[in-house]
Amino acid sequence: MIKILLFEGVDASGKTTLINEVLKLTNEFICVHRFSASQYVFNGEYYENPGKTNLSDCLKIDRCLKNVGIYVYCVADAEIITQRMKDKKEDKQRFKTQNFDLNLMLYDYYFSKTPLKVIIMNTSDSTPVSLAKSIIKQAREI
């Protein structure tokens, strides 16, 4: 059975980079950039209402993937994310208003409730290739 890797995390946490690396190394997974966790965390952020998406609705979606879905939660030190956003020349307004602590708290809460397995990857220090290999190894074991 094919497994679906659901990559989550704040902007510039390494989601796209890791998806690309995983797909270079194997074609045994479907990789998705943002899923229900981001819907829960970010839906309200740009409408001045973070974390107000209905948690139970998001978790219902997760339950549909219980046998195939695996979250890959990408995290990094705030200073590193800040530098990555500057390097990418991200939208300055979005950069200034993103509330890292709140977003991380909402992700942590969400992942404590989801029925899906969660692989946590700190992208601060390791290379994308080594992280991708670790994701693949862990996902195969689930």
Give pLDDT tens digits for 49-102: 555 567 888 899 999 999 999 999 999 988 888 788 877 765 554 544 457 788
DSSP state of 90: -
Contact 135, 121 (CB under 8 A): yes
> Residues 6 or more apart from 12 whose CB is under 8 A from it?
76, 81, 84, 85, 88, 90
pLDDT at residue 47 above 90?
A: no
Q: Minimal CA–CA distance to 36: which of 98, 90, 115?
A: 115
89: tokens are 């020349």
pTM of the model: 0.87
pLDDT value, residue 11: 85
